[in-house]
């Protein structure tokens, strides 16, 4: 089993997941169970994908999947902002900043793996 706790991308994914848990805890009941549930599930999936990528010799397919999930995450955040699920704009902005930081780290990891390989869609 590969170690992953030392990875900056793992730490960033965990920071995002913990922050989302805190945000959802403070959401209204109406938003907590639908949008909050989606945010929590997606943030946990990001952590799982980081762990999965670290444990595989061929990391690129998993890193591409992580990229796709990271590209979809801001949509959920934006929906939360628009329906006022976040208590303050700053809580939305901080979550968005964490996603951007995680995306940058994922891109760097992909480049270090030799992103020149073409990954077919749906892999």
pLDDT digits (tens, 9 = 90+) for 40-73: 999 999 999 999 999 998 999 999 999 999 999 9
Task: Sort 121 into a burial class: Cβ within 10 Å, 0-12 / 13-18 / 19+.
Answer: exposed
**32 falls in which pLDDT band (50, 70, 90)?**
confident
**8 falls in which pLDDT band (50, 70, 90)?**
very high
Q: Would you list the DSSP string of the chain?
A: ----TT-HHHHHHHHHHHHHHHHHHTS-HHHHTTHHHHHHHHHHHHHHHHHHHHH-SS-HHHHHHHHHHHHHHHHHHHHHHHTT-SSSHHHHHHHHHHHHHHHHHHHHHHHHT-TTSPPPTT-
Question: Is CATH 1.20.1440.60 the right assignment for the domain spanning 8-112?
Answer: yes
Look up residue 96 and give its two tokens. Answer: 């968005």
Does the pLDDT at position 81 exceed 60?
A: yes
Does the pLDDT at position 7 exceed 70?
A: yes
Residue partners of 111: CB distance under 8 A and separation at least 6: none
Name the residue ranges covered by the structural domains of the chain: 8-112
pLDDT score for 123? 44
Q: Which of 48, 61, 66, 65 is nearest to 105 (CA)?
A: 66
pLDDT score for 45? 97
The reported pTM is 0.85
């Amino acid at each position: 089993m590969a170690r992953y706790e030392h990875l900056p991308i793992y730490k960033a994914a965990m920071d995002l997941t913990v922050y989302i848990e805190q945000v959802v805890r403070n959401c209204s009941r109406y938003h907590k169970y639908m949008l909050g549930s989606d945010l929590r599930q997606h943030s946990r999936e990001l952590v799982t994908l980081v762990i999965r990528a670290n444990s595989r010799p061929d990391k690129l397919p998993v890193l591409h999947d992580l990229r796709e999930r990271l590209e979809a995450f801001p949509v959920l955040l934006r929906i939360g902002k628009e329906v006022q699920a976040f208590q303050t704009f700053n809580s939305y902005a901080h979550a968005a900043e964490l996603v951007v930081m995680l995306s940058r780290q994922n891109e760097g990891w992909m480049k270090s793996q030799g992103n020149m390989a073409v990954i077919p869609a749906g892999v």
